Each structure stands twice: as structure tokens, then as C-alpha cells.
Amino acid sequence: MLQLNYIRENRETVIERLAVKNFKDVELVDEIIQLDESRRKIQNESDAIAAEANAAAKQIGDLMRQGKKEEAEAVKSKSSGYKEQVKELTEKLAEIEQVLHVKIVQLPNLPHTSVPVGVSADDNEVVLEHGLAPALGEYALPHWELLSKYDIVDLELGVKVAGAGFPVYKGKGARLQRALINFFLDQAVEAGYNEVQVPILVNEDSAFATGQLPDKEGQMYHVGGDDFYLIPTAEVPVTNLYRDTIVKEDQFPIKHCAYTPCFRREAGSYGAHVRGLNRLHQFDKVETVQLVHPDKSYEVLEEMSRYIQGLLQQLELPYRVLRLCGGDMSFTSALTYDMEVFSAAQQRWLEVSSVSNFETYQSNRLKVRFKNEQGKMQLAHTLNGSALALPRIVASILENNQTENGIRIPAVLVPYTGFEWID
């Protein structure tokens, strides 16, 4: 959530940066500023009347102590309406603040000045490419055919148990999943992240605090009876560990990693690009989250990007890094890098990770603050990155490492899988 003071004091900049995200309802900015002016006017009026009431109460007390009962009664009569006036203004203030809140949460985060202008994924900027795609022979198959050929993931059995997008991993497929999860967690811990195990159901306050609500209701599974949401990413519960918290400046950077299953409805998804493991309703992911000092957040973003690239390099996967354009960014992000792995069998790039800096957008909702060197309260910056999401990593490993005799497991995973080949 954008800070109200910043919107009021930087109207033109806010409108200019929102345009980079292709935000069309710019009139909303002026509505927010006008509501804020009304709010402050009412607050000032209420404070002034409250001050007069306090002064009158003191005067009445002084007069009574002096035995001037009639004069005290006269002042009391004159000030009798103060309490009712303050009550009316307080009610009016609450109404305006509620409307103001509804309006301000409709504004997305402002994109960083380095975010390229664009309307879709076609306008994203390629920052770098690493590695070469393997040359596969005529035997090469897309991963959804490899799954059934080697009997490692059963998509149809998942449909029977739950529905499309809920695969059943079997045998070496299940062990490969477990190997990747453990590898990613071990790497994160080695990099200084503190591992946590968190709930996969969250309440509405948690979903709001990280920006899933009110923007992404249609993408989340809602458990109506208890008003819980199945998490779309571990970012939600992990970041919410610090909701309504004042942290110490010397605690920065606060680094956590977590493995969770993730759930996304992906309403309206269809076509060849979602076949097999390309897009699922339930999938496994290891997430990294950081809370940092505002002066360090973009330095940390680059560090997180390099860390995730290091994982892809160890898995021997060709990849590229994209800086997302304004039109392809999330509602909450100020700057996002996407990591995409090249699928040799599908002959296309598959997104496997996003790492984002949210600046104060989440922390303003979370109310996660610290006291700076000047003794003033300041909002922390929050960042998160997928390190990594498993389905497309598995798809790319299977496709890129297939041979006529089986599928080779990347060397770094062999100590975790206990086998070198799927055959």
C-alpha cells in the first residue's frame, strides 16, 4: 500500500510512475488526495473542539474550587455541546477513513525508475543469458510424454483424485521432487537463510498484508467455512511472521526460507502452454524472503538474483534473466526479475522464478517498522524470490537431459536422489 503522505506530496511523480504500469484510473489519485484533505480538516476541527472542551473543563474546575458555582455552571452550559460535536466529527472521520482505505488499496505499487515501459511479456528486457541449449536427437520428447514413458508422474490419476492440475508423483519422480526440495533448502541455509515451516492456510489479514487481497481473489482457493485461503506462495505466511512488529535495525537483513506446497486456481488457463507440468493448481516451491534496510534493498535484490542464478547453474540448466516491463509486473512489485529456463524439447522459455523488491508497499500494510539512527520509526523493505518452483524445473531437467537410454540426473542432485538415471 502506498504511503498517503507520499501520494499527497508527490502527486505528479505518482501519476507518472503509475503510467509505466499502465494504470488507467489516474483520477483515483486526486480522489485520494481530496479525501485526505477532508480527513485532515475534520481531524483538525475535532482536535480544536477537544482542546476547547479540555480548557473549559479546567476552567470549570478552577471556578468550582474558588466557590464560583454560578460562573462554573455558565461555562458548563456553554460547553455542553462539545462532547456531541466531537462524537459527530469522530463518526464522520471514521467514514472518510474507511472510504480512503478502500481507494488507496486500489493503487498498485510504483515501479522503480529502471522498469522498462511496456504492456506485455513481449516488452520485457533480457538482462542476460547463460548456457547453451542441448542438441537433442529425433528421439526427444516433451516432458508430458516422458512422465508416462518412465512412469514417474501420473497426470490422469491426479484428475481422478482431485482434478486437472493436481499430479501424482511416483517412484523416481517423487524422489526427484524430494531431492530438489532438500537441495534448495540446504543451499538456502548455507546462504544464510533461516529455515521456517509455516501454515499453508492463512487468514484474510495475512492475504491483505502481502497484497494478494484485494487484487488476486480469483487466483486463490478460499476455504469458505473458516474464511481461510490456501497460500499461492510461502511469501504470504513467511512475510506475515513480522506483521505488526517493530524490529531492531541491527537485525537486518532478516532472511527466511521455507518449503511449502502452493495452490493457484489459474482460472481461465488452457492451451498447449499449460500441458503437463507447465502450469498446475498445486505445486511445490522453496521460497526466500528478506526484510532489509531501505538503503540496501536494491543491492539485496541483485544478490538474490545472483543466488537463484547459481542454483540454475548447479542444475546445469540454460537460463535467461528478464527485467519485467511495467505492464507485466505484479500489483505489489517495484522491480521484478524473472528467471526462465530453456526447454529444449518444447523449444521455448519457461519461467521458473521471480525475485521482487516491494520496497515499502507490503511493509506499510504489514506495519513492520524499525527505529532508525535518528530515533524515528521507518518502514522496512521486503523482498522475495522463488528458489525455486519445482514443476518447470522438473520439466526442464527431464527434457534437457534425456538420451536414447534414459534421463540423466544433474550431478549435484545425485547425493539427494540416490540414483544417476531415470530409465
Q: Identify the CA nearest to 265 among candidates 274, 257, 273.
A: 274
Asked if the domains at 4-104 and 121-422 fall in one CATH topology, the answer is: no
At residue 55, the pLDDT reads 87
Residue 264 annotated as lining a ligand binding site: yes
Predicted TM-score (pTM) of this structure: 0.92
Q: What is the DSSP letter of 409?
A: P
Residue 384 annotated as lining a ligand binding site: yes
Residue 265 annotated as lining a ligand binding site: yes
As given in the structure block, the three cell numbers for residue 20 are 509505466
Q: What is the CATH number of domain 4-104?
A: 1.10.287.40
> Which residues, 6+ apart, have CB-to-CB distance to 59 below 8 Å?
72, 75
For the segment 62-116, what is each residue's pLDDT rounded down to a tens digit? 888 888 888 877 777 777 788 788 888 999 999 999 999 999 999 999 999 999 9
At residue 170, the pLDDT reads 97
- Give the relative orientation of helices 390-400 and 171-190 as an angle to the nearest 10 degrees: 120
Residue pair 22/119 in contact (Cβ under 8 Å)? The answer is yes
> Which residues, 6+ apart, have CB-to-CB distance to 129 below 8 Å?
318, 319, 320, 321
At residue 392, the pLDDT reads 95
Residue 287 annotated as lining a ligand binding site: yes
CATH number of 121-422, picked from 3.30.930.10, 3.90.1300.10, 3.40.190.10, 1.10.3730.10: 3.30.930.10
At residue 266, the pLDDT reads 75
Helix, strand, or coil (residue 383): strand
Q: Identify the CA nearest to 396 among candidates 411, 412, 409.
A: 409
Domain ranges of the chain: 4-104, 121-422
For the segment 244-254, what is each residue's pLDDT rounded down to a tens digit? 999 999 999 99
Measured distance CA(367)–CA(379) in Å, rounded:
7
At residue 218, the pLDDT reads 81
Residue 233 annotated as lining a ligand binding site: yes
Give the strands of the sheet with 222-223, arranged side by side: 201-202, 228-230, 222-223
At residue 270, the pLDDT reads 54
Mean pLDDT, consecutive 10-residue segments, the chain of 423 residues? Answer: 96 97 95 96 91 85 85 78 85 95 96 97 97 91 96 96 96 98 98 98 97 85 94 97 97 98 76 81 97 98 98 98 97 98 93 98 98 94 97 96 96 98 97
The beta strand positions in 204-276, using DSSP E, are 222-223, 228-230, 246-247, 254-263
Residue 223 annotated as lining a ligand binding site: no
Residue pair 409/416 in contact (Cβ under 8 Å)? The answer is no
For the segment 342-380, what is each residue's pLDDT rounded down to a tens digit? 999 999 999 999 999 999 999 999 999 999 989 999 999
